[in-house]
Amino acid sequence: MKIGIVGPASAGKTTLFRLLTGAAPARSKGGLTIGTAHVPDERLDRLSAVFKGKKTVYATLEFCDLPPLGAKSEISGETAGKLKSLDALTVVVRAHRDPTVPWPGEPVAPDKAFSSFQEEMILTDLLQLDKILGRKKDKGRSQEETAFLEKCQSLLEEMKPLSSANWDAGELPCLRNYAFLSSRPVLVAVNIDEEQLQDHIYDGQRELLSLCEKASYPVIEFCGTLEIDISEMDKEEQAEYLAAYGLKQSGIARLAAAAYRLLDLISFFTVGEDEVRAWTVKNFTPAKKAAGKVHSDMERGFIRAEVINFAEFMSLGASLKIARELGKLRLEGKDYPVCDGDIINFRFNV
């Protein structure tokens, strides 16, 4: 799962990418700069404290730092190709007013920058759709497919991103197959300054939030310079610093968590003295398949999953022994849909 960081020039894309991916060196693949980000998880920290795990392994996400869009957020053919290879997009827009950071042209309010991007995404799809519909050799297209393409066309002509529509199970294969840009899940990251963070307001905020609500895009406001300071502090210092702004989590932690949810990903945990670890699966993954994440033998020889959810585990005094004695460790079969926060011990036999 890869998430592209995209937006106008100098919006703070690379700053965000570096904050998310930390010290790990970026890799380059297919013209993309890729880095791995940890998904902070307070539950995992607490489990690690309970089990005194020698190692704590967080869930990860891959982010890609992209070159800037055109002066009016135009998406070039080359960029469109890159964006289509990604599973979700984080659009960075600038609200901060630091005069030492030059704008690429006239200053653009964040809501305007975002709506330009959305329009460009829709226009890119319309162009692709025109080509598809005009293609002679595809005259043999099935009725379902034609209906799907027409539905796309009417949505796009109303300037609605394809991600905003409801798609039934029959349409989903088409949606995946055509990979239209505006069908991608989108998250909006607004780069604000400290004063705007303190006052909870910036120019264009109301308009931006309303646009994003309509399209069901989550919005994360972060202050790039402040996040750099925070990333250099230890945990205690971080907490104090954030509390002074009335925040519980850093913008980076909020963004990583939002990206995880955006991709419909959940975490289950395995616990032990050696390692306390979060594993990533799609929501509703059956237990047997989830076991395969940990080890292929566990999937092959799957017998049962011993499960307790994090919240219940903590409410029972954070003890597996007590949970077992009270019969609260459920034995689940191969089709059990794993839930976010499940602590699982896979029983297997190979």
Ligand X SMILES: Nc1nc2c(ncn2[C@@H]2O[C@H](COP(=O)(O)OP(=O)(O)OP(=O)(O)O)[C@@H](O)[C@H]2O)c(=O)[nH]1
Q: Which does 98 bind (CB under 5 to 8 A by kind): ligand X, Mg ion, none?
A: ligand X
Q: Which does 225 bind (CB under 5 to 8 A by kind): Mg ion, ligand X, none?
A: ligand X
Q: Which residue's CB atom is positioned nearest to ligand X?
A: 224
Query: CB–CB of 125/40 below 8 Å?
Result: no
The residue within the footprint of Mg ion, chosen from 14, 21, 118, 163 (CB under 5 A), is 14
Candidate segments 10-18, 32-40, 157-165, 189-197, binder of Mg ion by CB under 5 A: 10-18
**Minimum gap (Å) between residue 10 Cβ and ligand X:** 4
**Minimum gap (Å) between residue 34 Cβ and ligand X:** 15
**Minimum gap (Å) between residue 227 Cβ and ligand X:** 8
**13 lies in the binding site for Mg ion (CB under 5 A):** yes
Measured between alpha carbons, how far is 23 from 242 in angstroms, rounded to an integer? Answer: 22
**82 lies in the binding site for Mg ion (CB under 5 A):** no
Measured between alpha carbons, how far is 292 from 287 in angstroms, rounded to an integer? Answer: 9
**Minimum gap (Å) between residue 11 Cβ and ligand X:** 4
Q: Is 106 helix (H, G, I), strand (E, B) or coil?
A: coil
**90 lies in the binding site for Mg ion (CB under 5 A):** no
Q: Is 276 helix (H, G, I), strand (E, B) or coil?
A: strand
Query: CB–CB of 255/12 below 8 Å?
Result: no
Q: Which residues, 6 or more positions from 119, have their beta carbon under 8 angstroms from its beta carbon?
A: 73, 159
Q: Which does 292 bind (CB under 5 to 8 A by kind): ligand X, Mg ion, none?
A: none
Q: Which is nearer to ligand X, 14 or 250 (CB)?
A: 14
Q: Which is nearer to ligand X, 9 or 294 (CB)?
A: 9
CA distances from 238 to 8, 37, 143, 269, 275 (A): 30, 18, 57, 25, 25
94-109: burial string, b at 16+ Cβ within 10 Å, e else: bbbeeeeeeeeeeebb
Q: Which is nearer to ligand X, 157 or 194 (CB)?
A: 194
Q: Which is nearer to ligand X, 229 or 274 (CB)?
A: 229
- C-alpha gyration radius of the chain: 23
Tokens 């088409």, residue located: 174
The two structure tokens encoding residue 105: 């042209």
**Minimum gap (Å) between residue 271 Cβ and ligand X:** 38
One DSSP character per residue, 216-260 reads: T--EEEE-HHHHHHHHTS-HHHHHHHHHHTT-SS-HHHHHHHHHH
For ligand X, the binding residues (CB under 6 A) are 9-15, 68, 96, 98, 101, 191, 193, 223-225
Q: Which is nearer to ligand X, 120 or 193 (CB)?
A: 193
Backbone angles phi, psi at 41, to 5 degrees: -150, 110
Q: Which does 101 bind (CB under 5 to 8 A by kind): ligand X, Mg ion, none?
A: ligand X
Q: Which is nearer to ligand X, 96 or 184 (CB)?
A: 96
Q: Which does 11 bind (CB under 5 to 8 A by kind): ligand X, Mg ion, none?
A: ligand X
Q: Which residues, 6 or more positions from 72, have their beta carbon under 8 angstroms from its beta carbon?
A: 116, 120
Q: Which residues, 6 or more positions from 284, have their beta carbon under 8 angstroms from its beta carbon?
A: 337, 338
One DSSP character per residue, 286-310 reads: BHHHHHHHH-HHHHHTEEEEEEEEH
**Minimum gap (Å) between residue 65 Cβ and Mg ion:** 6
Q: Which does 96 bind (CB under 5 to 8 A by kind): Mg ion, ligand X, none?
A: ligand X
Q: Which does 320 bind (CB under 5 to 8 A by kind): ligand X, Mg ion, none?
A: none
**Minimum gap (Å) between residue 15 Cβ and Mg ion:** 8
Q: Which is nearer to Mg ion, 63 or 268 (CB)?
A: 63
Interacting residues toward Mg ion by CB under 5 A: 13-14
